[in-house]
Amino acid sequence: MSDDRTTDGTATAPIVDPARALPHTSRDDYEAAVAQARRAAAAYYAGEQSIDDADYDALYARITASEREHPAWRVADSPTAVVGTPGGDIEHSTPMLSIGNVFNSEGLHDWAAKLDKALGHPATSYSVEPKIDGLAIAARYAEGRLVLIATRGDGHTGEDVTSQARLVAGLPARLSAPVTIEVRGEVYMTDADFAKGCDLRLAHGEPVFANPRSAAAGSLRAQRVYDVPLSFMAYAAHGLPDEHAHSHSASIAYLGTLGVATTAQSSAGLTVCTDIDEVTAAVAALGARRGELGFGIDGVVVKADLTADQAKAGFSTRAPRWGTAYKFPADTRTTKLLRIDVQVGRTGVITPVAVLEPVQVGGVVVTSATLHNFTDLERRDVRAGDTVHVRRAGDVIPEITGAVHEARPVDAEPYSPPVQCPRCGGDIDRGNLRWRCARGRACGEKATLLYYTSRDAMDIEGLGEKILDALLATGHITDAADLYALDVPTLAAMDRLGTVSATNLVGSIAATKARPLSRVLTGLGIRMTGRTLSRRIARHFGTMDAILAATPAEWEQVDGIGSERAAVIIAELAEVAPLIAKLAGHGVNMTEPTGPAVNAAPDSAAGSGLPLRRPDGTPMTVVVTGSVPGLTRNQGNEAVEELGGKSSGSVSAKTDFVVVGDGAGSKATKAADLGLPILDADKFAQLLTAHRTGDHDTATTILHTVARVTQPAA
């Protein structure tokens, strides 16, 4: 295994590029690695996963390096010579070959240079589409009727899975035209269908699936009394009419008209590029959206788009020269679950958390992951000591998707959930999937108060944790509103607080009464909201009265709030309504200075004149990374919205521009990779000042230094 480790023992990402892998030191080690790879492949096609994708890729890379260094070692069943698993009874019309891999933009440019050399000229165009994380199949249609479906198998012959695959979504029983063709593509599970499939398995007394990829492979080849939801996406076809076969993109478009689901129709889409620099940008853009697609991809497939270019470039012994796969870092890894902790949130929600042996997932070292809720934990039968699958797609919080039950230690005990609240010892309300202390917010009064007084919320200077502990212990306060009833004599009588400090603290507390409504909402800690959404809510409704009176339908008009989130927020607001009234009674501000104009409808003139509004009235999406002079991180995001924009915490192809200041990290790098416009933090601070002082000329001049910001988003 080529799993590197840092000096402190933390696991890093395995090496998956064969060019960087070290060969085995002995033939026995090489043959053992081949045997392990074949076992892993067999387990995968049976619906299990003995090692994770990154470790398999690393294993494959080292086998490749060994065969390059010692050609005489190569065995007939090496994974470099055999595609997939042993074949079946169905002979493929043409071999179903695998595709080569690259791992960075340098590798992509090297592949393009080799393609240009094979063609004798630069490729005319390229197609860029998602590499679906599923099981490759070939589906044959005779006069428009589906007659046979076979797995890839060893690339030359595959298994007949026609009966199991007839209900796969996206693979119609009849095409819209009576053509005789063979369609090739991937059978996979969407994220939503993976959850449904796990529930079906449990209902029939079987363990949940390890992950969507192995679930799709196993379900397609298994004979069961129930149907697991599966989907199909085409990436190629043979036998198409000539007028639809002059390019890959045209072939895929024609398949879509026949009723077959294709990569072009998916949320990932298919992009045609004119040069390799455009390809690199398209690959980066798709990688940035990886966690938002609703299904798993492990890379991007790049092909010479024109059929004539493909024919001229030809094939090597194992893969086409005209195509390659840009592999992403694995978003699912396996590691050891050290223990299961329980955390209690400030609103009383009780959650199990997995403490993990450090592992790198998607380029980030992960040491803990969510287990969602206790019902899900029991359903997946995850135990301390297990080898578990850890998933992190895009910017999603790491989660445990399942355990490798075959590798479970014999002494691993089933997890026992808490019978009392771990924080206060009170009863637990188990009425919902997310358990909660029966005392609700009262259980976490200290955590709630700390959050209310924090810099990102009401920012009460001089009120630290020790003073809060003393105030709670003496009964001077029970909630945030009680802070505004404190006086100098009461505080001065406490330990470590004299008259001067007490006077300053009372003044600091009083000053927060003028904070905007968005800060108050943030401080209340409403579930399923945060700083950004609290600002959005405050600017949408304008006043607390309007917020409390809003109907579910009105809540769903707020960007980022759907029906489920609206229901939770409404219930939370009802719960804290007495506290809100108490705060208002102490004179705490309940209005947003900018009012609802910032989130007015695009055709409204209410948002006109704001620098970060497009001509049609829609807000630009802006990411702030690093420090902005004179502003905290939260104030930088608030400034974006004050200027009429939409603040985002993640960089994607839909971002209009990125504000980059001192200390900027990966977001600035991703912005550069995507070719996004960048605005220096100093200029952003000048833009804010110009807007506040009404200096529209300066604001316009600054914005003109940022390309594309005045254009509608794609």
pLDDT (average), residues 385-400: 78
Q: Is 204 exposed, middle or buried (0-12, 13-18, 19+ CB in 10 A)?
A: exposed
In DSSP notation, 458-515 reads T--TT--HHHHHHHHHHTS-SSGGGGGG--HHHHHTSTT--HHHHHHHHHHHHHGGGS
pTM, entire model: 0.61
Shared domain for 488 and 419, answered yes or no, is: no
Is 252 in contact with 301 (CB distance < 8 Å)?
Answer: no
Which residues are known to be catalytic? 131
Mean pLDDT of the chain: 84
pLDDT for residue 194 is more than 90? no
Shared domain for 501 and 525, answered yes or no, is: no
pLDDT score for 705: 78
The CATH number of whichever domain residue 549 belongs to comes to 1.10.150.20
Where does 135-262 have alpha helices with state H? 162-165, 191-203, 212-221, 248-257
**C-alpha atoms less than 13 angstroms from C-alpha of 538 in its C-beta half-sphere:** 27
Q: Classify strands 657-660 and 678-680 as parallel, antiparallel or unpaired.
A: parallel
Question: For residue 245, how far is the Cα from the chain centroid?
Answer: 35
Asked if residue 696 is part of any domain, the answer here is yes
Number of domains in the chain: 6
Shared domain for 222 and 118, answered yes or no, is: yes
Pick from 6-20, 133-147, 273-287, 685-699: least confident: 6-20
Residue ranges of the annotated binding site for NAD(+) are 53-57, 98-99, 129, 152, 186, 303, 327
Asked if residue 215 is part of any domain, the answer here is yes
Asked if residue 564 is part of any domain, the answer here is yes
Domain end: 541, 566, 599, which one? Answer: 599
Asked if residue 614 is part of any domain, the answer here is no
Residues in the chain: 714
pLDDT for residue 505 is more than 80? yes
**550-583 tens-digit pLDDT:** 999 999 888 878 887 888 899 889 989 999 999 9
The CATH number of whichever domain residue 78 belongs to comes to 1.10.287
Domain end: 487, 514, 541, which one? Answer: 514
Residue ranges of the annotated binding site are 53-57, 98-99, 129, 152, 186, 303, 327, 421, 424, 443
Which among 532, 693, 712 is positioned nearest to 613, based on CA atoms? 712
Shared domain for 413 and 347, answered yes or no, is: yes
Q: Classify strands 621-625 and 646-648 as parallel, antiparallel or unpaired.
A: parallel
Shared domain for 455 and 418, answered yes or no, is: no
pLDDT score for 594: 59
Shared domain for 299 and 339, answered yes or no, is: no
The CATH number of whichever domain residue 299 belongs to comes to 3.30.470.30
Is 353 in contact with 341 (CB distance < 8 Å)?
Answer: yes
Instruction: Give whole-number Cα distances, 195 to 155, 233, 291, in Å.
Output: 31, 20, 16
Shared domain for 129 and 205, answered yes or no, is: yes
Q: What are phi and psi of 108, to 5 degrees?
A: -65, -45
Pick from 114-123, 182-191, 434-443: least confident: 434-443
Is 229 in contact with 167 (CB distance < 8 Å)?
Answer: no
Asked if residue 274 is part of any domain, the answer here is yes
pLDDT (average), residues 63-88: 77
pLDDT category at 163 given cuts 50, 70, 90 is confident
**416-433 tens-digit pLDDT:** 999 999 988 889 999 888
Is 549 in contact with 523 (CB distance < 8 Å)?
Answer: no
Asked if residue 45 is part of any domain, the answer here is yes
Domain end: 82, 111, 143, which one? Answer: 82
**Tokens standing for residue 209:** 């699936």
**C-alpha atoms less than 13 angstroms from C-alpha of 5 in its C-beta half-sphere:** 8
pLDDT (average), residues 446-460: 88
pLDDT for residue 55 is more than 50? yes
What is the extent of the structural domain holding 457? Answer: 440-514
**99-158 tens-digit pLDDT:** 888 988 889 999 999 999 999 999 999 999 999 988 899 999 999 999 999 988 888 888
Asked if residue 604 is part of any domain, the answer here is no
Shared domain for 491 and 391, answered yes or no, is: no
pLDDT category at 11 given cuts 50, 70, 90 is very low
Shared domain for 373 and 404, answered yes or no, is: yes
Which among 631, 642, 655, 554 is positioned nearest to 594, based on CA atoms? 642
Q: How far apart are the first and last CA of the chain?
A: 44
pLDDT (average), residues 678-705: 86
Shared domain for 294 and 398, answered yes or no, is: no
Which among 419, 505, 514 is positioned nearest to 466, based on CA atoms? 505
pLDDT score for 223: 67
Is 286 in contact with 130 (CB distance < 8 Å)?
Answer: yes
Residue ranges of the annotated binding site for Zn(2+) are 421, 424, 443
3-state class (DSSP) for residue 123: coil
pLDDT score for 551: 92
Where does 222-301 have alpha helices with state H? 248-257, 276-288
Shared domain for 416 and 351, answered yes or no, is: yes
Is 235 in contact with 252 (CB distance < 8 Å)?
Answer: yes
Q: Name residues whose C-beta falls within 8 Å of residue 579's C-beta, 6 or more positions apart in sequence.
A: 479, 480, 481, 524
Asked if residue 607 is part of any domain, the answer here is no
Is 611 in contact with 654 (CB distance < 8 Å)?
Answer: no
3-state class (DSSP) for residue 635: helix
Q: Which of 304-313, 429-438, 463-472 has the highest mean pLDDT?
A: 304-313
The CATH number of whichever domain residue 661 belongs to comes to 3.40.50.10190
Shared domain for 140 and 245, answered yes or no, is: yes
